[in-house]
A and B are shown apart, each in its own frame.
Chain A
């Protein structure tokens, strides 16, 4: 199972953290600091996997953001790499060309999407359609029925 997932920027700012194992806040901060440092120090062409403590780290960089997952010894590295990619696709589809700012300003949405996709450190639903259906349905349930705000400009690829 996946033990945790971290999203952080090239400057080392943590943008999203999801922990599937119970850890103290202190331990979480320590792990984050250590991993952010390790991953940022790696060169672009290096492989996406590394051993860290007794876990395997799988990471990938998308524009300014690093997506970093910790999986257990028996887990499959390549499929984890594609978990990351599918999550990026889900964010992209939902926000329309997602960028780091979307995740900063709508962090709660990023969590909701992740919960539909992964639960308890395991893949729950891989169909893009089904995940987004669940989120869109929730959006429709809003009582205020405010007009949908404009789509975000594309900052990630700029």
Chain B
């Protein structure tokens, strides 16, 4: 046996560990472990009571097995028993087991807490220490509830041993982190602050951590800690290297404590008291001075400890950001480290300089090191160090050096590690945009980015270049010319085809005068890339072609030929096929005027925060980027009048590029594979009134205005795909409450589309069933299921049966007639059964026939509105709901939804212009019910209050339910 355990040898444990180590295979190990587990289980269950030693040994074995990575589901009780043993080593193993294998079993927690309570009360410092360690290791809420009151008393009691005080301080810290609400501030807090003066440096070390965390949350209460921390720090810094005895570490006095004290001071602004402030400045200067002194030892531990304090001091100097002299000294010190032979120091210097770069006092001093940093980018062998260099270049970039930095980053990109390419691409894109003096440089840079690292250019980047080109007319001609030239390359990245396609579609006319880039040449150039591209890019190119039809009437024939070809019209991809069909039709039937209107140039995008910046923030975590950005934006605000990324209220109607605010895409259950079919149908004012880019974030959103057409159905390209045989969507698809047409349901086999119209109390709904596969559906039987109650209230719905065989790729339609007899709350269920490839399929969806469909809008003046409002003041007539906004709170979208809901939107009725009011009449066969509604948004709280007043309680109730789901 290679080793004998030290101290309290447990021979059986050592043997077991040896056995495990001698196992030749994983299987053998598992076998040995299972044997041992069975043995332990039988011992624990056996009739013979185990002595403490055996219990300890077996618990320890279980712990070992757990640490090997196996699950342990017994032995907890035995471990808890050990806690109450009088023998220290048994107690110790019990606590260790509990600490490692915490179990939220409440029965046990109570027993554990009992044992801890006894040990805390034992006044035996070793036992108290064990109990406190256990609380600090587990730190559960139950423990906080049991001990958060007791521990502060132990911490500040005069007769507590130093070692117990240390444990109590950190134990309390742990509980405060888990459950701050359970740790009450009180008299003890001032006494805790005075622990900074304690004789015992170990106590000060532990207490400083506690005080730092408490001070972050309660700065006022712990303000006195500043002067105490400064005087403590000063005593350490000025002490001779041997004064602190065992707290000196490789000739550095109390480095851990120094770092902690400097951390504590970073919770506060520079001290106000000039004496304290002066003393602190002396300390910081002394620390900076020491960095210049010859080392007292050659050991790396000496320099690490010394520099740990130095870096923390520099952090404090940067945090205060008030002493230009210290900031510049810090910067020079870091500059020395940039060329140090220790990789660790170079790494930290680059990291620390990043924060220095955002201070106005040291920004210039940091810039002086640009050559060194660029050199680091080229020569560092460790990718994490190069990453820091990229970060620093990004942080030190301003207008004066942007061209150089962007060029260096671009050239580094050619050989950069794959892991950091995307981030560099984002950074280059942001810098190029932000510091662009003329936008031709910007366009060149982005095209270069695509050329060098096309695969890493995310959509945000190419969206953004298009956004900028569209918004700046001085660069459009140049952009068109440049993409045209770039596209000449025999192999160009698909992202370039996308940018090229989009820009030429918008601004190809600006270069069409040159015979070398005539309309036909442009078209042929783009079309030569077509077959190499993915579906989304092809879709985009088709849109470019239709735009060409408008821009260049002379190529219309050529383009129509292309659209008419089988590879387009009968393309296996639904989206491509649909575009080809629609565009071909559009180009044939529409007059020049209509074409010019539908296909007019994209309007400028609203200025907003760069979506790339948003992406970088997401990648790097918000804090890191924001601070630098904010700081830099302030500095450069006047420098760049261009499209400085200015945060603006995101409007869902302009969201091609925005990431921050996604448009309120309905989160309904039908998984619409194309995402587009929904747009095509959308007839709600919000979609049709806004420009088409309101529709989608994806590149499928094209610069052409799209017309409603019937449900396109394409044969499925592949064979039967995996699908779920039974699908139920038995809640109402919310977006259909405010609109009548669209795709209600879609899976891999079947698509169900709706078109409906309602007038007064009558309605007619067309249901389209599309077979998305290439195989015939058999026994196709749609059935409408209404409860008796519903049947009585909505007459019908009368349906004509459909043909039971639906061919592959075909579409059948069915009409439903509806009459509203009286108000109702349920919705009918559409059940569809059919056989596909020998399997029985069953799909159920709710049909969006809702009470509000029978709304007739009523216009009325403010006076009338309020008169009627008052008339409906009976408590049964009013229903109110207060709810959180589920979508971005956009006025235009809200208006569109209220109109889509069916009521009239009354402008200038409510004295508060932010509120919306509406009025209408619900028509049923038996009655007409007048309805008034009022919607009050609260932007700050992101809440709405919706009030409905109608003459019938059930109607108020139902309308309120339906409408409140919409926002």
Contact = CB atoms under 8 A, between A and B. Distances in A.
- Contact residues on B (Cβ < 8 Å of other chain), bracket: 35 or more
B205 A45 contact: no
Contact of B343 (A1, A45, A139): A45
Given A79-B308, A112-B96, A149-B9, A120 B64 contact: no
Interface string B52-63: 010000001001
B331 interface: no
Contact of A102 (B3, B88, B307): B3
B7 A82 contact: no
B343 A76 contact: no
B305 interface: yes
B130 to A, nearest CB: 9
Given A124-B206, A148-B7, A149-B4, A108 B259 contact: no
Given A115-B137, A126-B254, A82 B129 contact: no
A35 interface: no
A125 B163 contact: yes
Interface string A65-95: 0000000011011110111011000000011
Interface residues of A, number: 67
B747 interface: no
Interface in B199-214: 201-202, 205-206, 209
Contacts of A17: 67
Interface string A27-71: 001000000000000010111111100100000000000000000
Given A29-B69, A47-B385, A142 B136 contact: no
Contacts of B260: 123
B423 to A, nearest CB: 11
B348 A78 contact: yes
B73 to A, nearest CB: 12
B6 A106 contact: yes
Given A119-B170, A127-B247, A130-B246, A142 B7 contact: yes
A115 to B, nearest CB: 5
B249 A124 contact: no
Contacts of B304: 78-79, 81-82, 85
A157 interface: no
Interface in A111-133: 111-112, 115, 119-130
A83 B249 CA distance: 11
B126 A46 contact: no
Contacts of A50: 384
A45 B308 CA distance: 20
Interface in B390-406: none
Interface string A129-158: 110001001110111101011101001000
A125 B205 contact: yes
A138 B92 contact: yes
B171 interface: yes
Contacts of B126: 134, 137-138, 141
Most chain A Cβ neighbours within 10 Å, of B5, B6, B381: B6
A124 B87 CA distance: 25
Contacts of A29: 69
B347 interface: yes
A122 B259 contact: no
Nearest to A155: B2
Given A76-B308, A109-B7, A126-B205, A138 B163 contact: no
Nearest to A141: B88
Given A78-B305, A78-B344, A120-B173, A127 B201 contact: yes
A54 B4 CA distance: 41
B256 interface: yes
B382 A46 contact: yes
Contacts of B254: 126
Contacts of A20: 174
Contacts of A134: 126, 129, 163
A107 B312 CA distance: 34
A82 B301 contact: yes
B202 A106 contact: no
Contacts of B263: 74, 76
B255 interface: yes
B21 interface: yes
B387 interface: yes
Minimum-distance CB pairs A-B, first 10: A78-B308, A120-B174, A79-B308, A127-B246, A47-B343, A141-B88, A119-B170, A122-B209, A46-B382, A120-B170
7 contacts: A79-B308, A82-B249, A85-B304, A108-B60, A108-B93, A112-B96, A148-B6
Interface of B: 2-9, 14, 17, 21, 53, 60, 63-64, 67, 69, 71, 87-89, 92-93, 96, 100, 126, 129, 133, 136-137, 139-140, 163, 166-167, 170-171, 173-174, 177-178, 201-202, 205-206, 209, 246-247, 249, 254-257, 259-260, 263, 301, 304-305, 307-309, 311-312, 343-344, 346-348, 381-382, 384-385, 387, 621, 623
Given A47-B385, A79-B305, 5 more contacts: A79-B256, A79-B312, A108-B60, A130-B163, A130-B246
